[in-house]
Structure 1
Amino acid sequence: MTHWIAVDWGTTALRITRMDGIRPVDTRQNDKGMNALSHDDFERVFIDLAGDWIDGPTDVLACGMVGARQGWAEAAYRTVPCAAAGGELTHAPTKDPRLNVSIVPGVRQLKPHPDVMRGEETQIAGILARQPDFDGVACLPGTHTKWAHLSAGEIVSFRTVMTGELFADLTGRSVLRHSLAGDGWDEEAFVAAVSDALSRPEILTARLFELRAADLLHGQDAATGRAILSGLLIGAELAATKPWWLGRDAIITGSSKTTHAYATALKSQGLSPTLLPADEMTLAGLAALRDA
């Protein structure tokens, strides 16, 4: 069967792609992420979105939070070091006999510190399907950014940083929201803030309120404030993840906006990262995992 459905089911969104072998044919998405669903909702929500794609026996391969304990079916974690494309898929129970649904296992790390990922391992499988000999670090920016050391086709170790969630909370809920509205950007201010936080990460929390004070006392532009906040958070992240990226080749896989910020930050530290689109890597990874 060459036609199948690739599913990227996260915490806040569902994205499905009709595949012909390794070639994407059509994509649909909605906001029915795991957080919005109960355990019994997944099959119905999937069928509602897939609709006419299910015209007979249909193979479905899914990754992401759909495999969490609160998802369609819990997919056990594999432990690093492990191959990016491998591991036993979990079969999800269905009422519709046309569906054959499998879920990609997540990846866990027990030491030197506990960590887990769901979904990013599939993007990593996609990266290595494109560049099988890659040896270096993959940066996967998002709500919870992952830094993964890849070597010999394996995920050797990884580190998760909550930079995206912190940025959203600080700009949307904290007192800083009054001074950081809008979507503007100041590249020079961003790079300076990255350097400052990377060299002195201990000043991060002290620097945060300066953004509010600079607005009140000097009328600092919101675009500059947002860029400084992003630079401070990413700079502190680079300080925390230096063992993963320092002296290594780097690939960044994320949205265009986040990829640009991380690429700029790494370039300021002398790296020349390769940029790969996250959606394409997810599909490439699902295709590789299906073949495996």
Structure 2
Amino acid sequence: MATAHWIAVDWGTSRLRLWALDGMGRVVGDAASDRGMGRLQPDDFEGALLELAAPFLAEGGRTKVLICGMAGARQGWIEAPYSAVPCLPAKGRTVRAPTRDPRLDVRILPGLCQMDPPDVMRGEETQIAGILARDPGFDGTLCLPGTHSKWVRIAGGTVQSFNTAMTGELFDLLCHQSILRHSLDASWDDAVFAAAIATSEAQPAQVFSQLFGLRAGSLVGAGAQDASQAHLSGLLIGAELAAMRNYWQGRAVAVIGADNLARCYHSALAQLGGEVTTMNGVDLALEGLKAAYRQQEDCP
């Protein structure tokens, strides 16, 4: 297995992903695990990293490891303070993580924060840096779906503002911990999803009563249970799009992701007349880490 010149790491709440790179920035190996921040105590991080990185480390030397994401959270390895917007993404001062293995030189990138209204992000800013590395002139909105979806306004090569919606977490809670769990069917129907998007985006104030209607309809036989998760997803995403209208209406929007959730957001935005494209978030995270590493190397 090839020895790395440096190692890039995207450390999320649930997943850890690593790339080993040579001196030209080419990937010579990669690895991933489910040892995300949510599973670890601060003393566990070095071991979790070594499980993946050890084959790429040079004996008798120190390998720089650049990390983005939740390893820098207050509950993570060591807290990396936020950079306040407006600012360049993934270009703030790094924090050195404490390590015992002499082969490691670990630095963690800061997240971004916003004071009015209060908001924070960790990890997504590196994907944003990846977009700007590819297209420095990008001017528009980024939509980063997930447990906590981010809507980000980009102009002049900087993050101007952003807003977070807890849509993914609400969906999970309603599916698994609410009364609706007894009435939801996991099959999918694009037409059901599209109808729910239209209903919720047009009348977001009605979402709460629409939600209980999923339960009531299944009890009295007045509503079909088929594709009810698609119905629920459409109601929640439609309400999110209504709340974030000033971010996407009349602007170019890039949805970051390559999974079913990203496709749902793409479909919903296109349905409502948005000018939308989709980009692969994993590729962008690596591009952003490369850009951050180059910037760190240029600093004295």
TM-score category of the 2 structures, normalised to the smaller one? over 0.9
Q: CA deviation at 1:105?
A: 0.4
For residues 221-243 of structure 1, give each alpha carbon's deviation from its aligned partner in whole angstroms, at most 9, with x where no partner exists.
55521111111100110111111
1:285 aligns with 2:288: yes
Q: CA deviation at 1:214?
A: 2.4
Aligned length: 290
- Provide the C-alpha distance between the structure 2 equivalents of 1:179 and 1:23, rounded to a whole number of angstroms: 49
Q: Which residue of 2 aligns with 1:19?
A: 21
Q: Which residue of 2 aligns with 1:162?
A: 166
Secondary structure (helix, strand or coil) at the match of 1:83 reads coil
1:132 aligns with 2:136: yes
Q: Please, which of 55, 69, 82 is the counterpart of residue 87 of structure 2?
A: 82
Aligned AA (1:86):
K
Q: Which residue of 2 aligns with 1:228?
A: 231
- Provide the C-alpha distance between the structure 2 equivalents of 1:178 and 1:63, rounded to a whole number of angstroms: 39
Secondary structure (helix, strand or coil) at the match of 2:250 reads coil
Aligned AA (2:14):
T
Secondary structure (helix, strand or coil) at the match of 1:82 reads coil
Would the aligned equivalents of 2:4 and 2:57 in 1 still touch at CA under 8 Å? no
**TM-score, normalised relative to structure 1:** 0.95
Structure 1: any 5+ residue segments left out of the alignment? Answer: none
Q: CA deviation at 1:158?
A: 0.2
Aligned AA (2:114):
Q
- Provide the C-alpha distance between the structure 2 equivalents of 1:285 and 1:193, rounded to a whole number of angstroms: 35
Q: Which residue of 2 aligns with 1:93?
A: 98
For residues 82-102 of structure 1, give each alpha carbon's deviation from its aligned partner in whole angstroms, at most 9, with x where no partner exists.
012411111112111111111
Q: Please, which of 233, 239, 242 is the counterpart of residue 242 of structure 2?
A: 239
- Provide the C-alpha distance between the structure 2 equivalents of 1:22 and 1:273, rounded to a whole number of angstroms: 30
Secondary structure (helix, strand or coil) at the match of 1:227 reads helix
* Pairing of 1:59-208 with structure 2 (within 5 A): 59-111=64-116, 113-182=117-186, 184-208=187-211
Q: CA deviation at 1:278?
A: 0.9
- Output the aligned Cα RMSD: 1.6
Secondary structure (helix, strand or coil) at the match of 1:261 reads helix
Q: Which residue of 1 aligns with 2:298?
A: none
